Amino acid sequence: MESELELDDYYDVANHDMVHDNQSVPCPEQKLINETWIRVVIILFYLIIFVIGFFGNMLVILVVAKNKVMHSPTNIFIVNMALSDVLMCVFAVPFTPIHSFMPEWMFGEVLCKLFPTSQGVSVYMSTLTLTCIAVDRYIAIVHPYRPRMENKTSYTLACSVNALAVLFTAPYAWYMTVKEDPETGLLLCSESWYGMPRTIYGAFTNIMQFVLPFTTIFVCYSVIMARLAQRYTTRPGASRQSAAKEEAEKERKKKNNRLCVSMVVIFGTCWFPLNVINFLADIELFPIFCWDYYHFTFFMCHILAMSSNCYNPFLYGWLNESFRTEFLKMIPALKTICGGDPRRPAAVNNCTRDHRNDQNGMHRIGQVNPLEEPDAPNDLVENADEIPILIQNGHEMKEINIDRV
């Protein structure tokens, strides 16, 4: 049902039964998951995901909140996604092993509704915001003559996404309740609806949380990759450029393609296994809950899905130059981690964009990052708004970019 956790499917560790639809079904003892060292490793994975996901996404939020110049439509979506990831780290990441490894529910009726509802809302916020980012980049790059989205519009869309997340999760929260298992006497936090309505809602959840967002993201970034490739080959003067320049453009195109492919692959890889196992549980074609490795497999799928919280700050923050620059300002140690010299300006470190000097010593930028503002299609340069201006500051030349947020 819910992409975070099938709370109505609870494994009774003491009696080796699977409590499904509030009924205890005799099952063979689950393998692997009852091993102490397995549980320790699982908890360790969740701890790593919590630390990286929580602090990484909080860093993204602080960077945008601190810099008004970064309040652009794309960055507003990125912050909304970071908020969803923080919410997921706070509720979904620690709650799942606690709920599953404890023999009964001990947190009351309110938290029984709050925890799973928060998880469901955070998943919807994340996947639907990812979709908004993909559509925004598609319009900006594929249809550059259309009016750009204003901040007010992006705020409205972000709030609408969050409202839809709450609305879509409301039925799940409504039917979550604490009940006593008549056979074991244990208190279980589980859903109180069954049959076709629950199956329909489960299918709806899978479609809205994974199928529709993944399809939209895949189509948008595929078209973006094709358009960027076409733009490089049809740009005025492309046939007269030097071999070195052509090779540099090919490399930039490869970087952009790898970025777009990474977005699709990471999203699909992280969420597909969990949606599959939850879908199989919803349609009830066979007693998957009694499969010897069901509980262990679920945790592996859930950990993989939760790990997406760690990748997003890098994909949607670190690959964006403005975020990258602010990260380096807030945490100078990152310059050393990225292979740069902390004593040198950020512009010459590996953490920043690859600069190429011309004969006059001026820097020329040509990379088009789908997460940054798009290029001007009619300009003779590849990305007019990425041409840097070098200003003198004492003995140090600093680089600033026009209209770069």
Q: What is the pLDDT of residue 275?
A: 87
Q: What is the pLDDT of residue 16?
A: 41
Mean pLDDT, all residues of the chain: 75
Mean pLDDT of the region 152-169: 95
Residues 6+ apart with CB under 8 A from 381: 366, 387
Of residues 178 and 3, more confidence is placed in 178
Q: What is the pLDDT of residue 93?
A: 85
Q: What is the pLDDT of residue 235?
A: 59
Per-residue pLDDT of 258-268, as tens digits, reads 776 777 888 88
Q: What is the pLDDT of residue 163?
A: 96
Core vs surface per residue 51-70: b (16+ CB within 10 A) or e: ebbbebbbbbbebbeebeeb
Q: What is the pLDDT of residue 232?
A: 64
Whether this prediction's pTM lies above 0.75 is answered by no
pLDDT category of residue 241 using cuts at 50, 70 and 90 = low
Q: What is the pLDDT of residue 338?
A: 59
Residues 6+ apart with CB under 8 A from 266: 308, 311, 315
Per-residue pLDDT of 174-186, as tens digits, reads 998 898 888 888 8
Q: What is the pLDDT of residue 13?
A: 38
Q: How far apart are CA 134 and CA 262, in angstroms?
A: 13
Q: What is the pLDDT of residue 239?
A: 53
The answer to whether residue 30 scores a pLDDT higher than 70 is yes
The answer to whether residue 378 scores a pLDDT higher than 90 is no
Q: Where are the domains of the chain?
A: 9-319, 333-401
Of residues 71 and 11, more confidence is placed in 71
Q: Which of 131-135, 188-192, 277-281 has the highest mean pLDDT?
A: 131-135
Superfamily of domain 9-319: Rhodopsin 7-helix transmembrane proteins (1.20.1070.10)
Please give, one letter per residue, the 3-state secondary structure of the chain.
CCCCCCCCEEEECCCCEEEECCEEEECCCCCCCCCHHHHHHHHHHHHHHHHHHHHHHHHHHHHHHHCHHHCCHHHHHHHHHHHHHHHHHHHHHHHHHHHHHCCCCCCHHHHHHHHHHHHHHHHHHHHHHHHHHHHHHHHHHHCCCCCCCCHHHHHHHHHHHHHHHHHHHHHHHHHEEEEECCCCCCEEEEECCCHHHHHHHHHHHHHHHHHHHHHHHHHHHHHHHHHHHHHHHHCCCHHHCCHHHHHHHHHHHHHHHHHHHHHHHHHHHHHHHHHHHHHHHHHCCCCHHHCCCHHHHHHHHHHHHHCHHHHHHHHHHHCCHHHHHHHHHHCCHHHHHCCCCCCCCHHHCCCCCCCEECCCCCEECCCCCCCCCCCCCCCCCCCHHHCEEEEEECCEEEEEECCCC
Contact call for residues 122 and 46 (beta carbons, < 8 A): no
Least confident of 29-43, 76-90, 139-153, 308-322: 308-322
Mean pLDDT of the region 95-102: 81
Contact call for residues 12 and 186 (beta carbons, < 8 A): yes
Q: How many CA atoms lie within 13 A of 129 on its CB side?
A: 29
Of residues 96 and 238, more confidence is placed in 96
Share of the chain above pLDDT 70, in %: 70
Q: How far apart are CA 388 and CA 354, in angstroms?
A: 13
Q: What is the pLDDT of residue 213?
A: 92
pLDDT category of residue 5 using cuts at 50, 70 and 90 = very low
Mean pLDDT of the region 60-79: 89
Residues 6+ apart with CB under 8 A from 137: 74, 220, 221, 224, 370, 371, 374
Of residues 298 and 255, more confidence is placed in 298
The answer to whether residue 8 scores a pLDDT higher than 70 is no
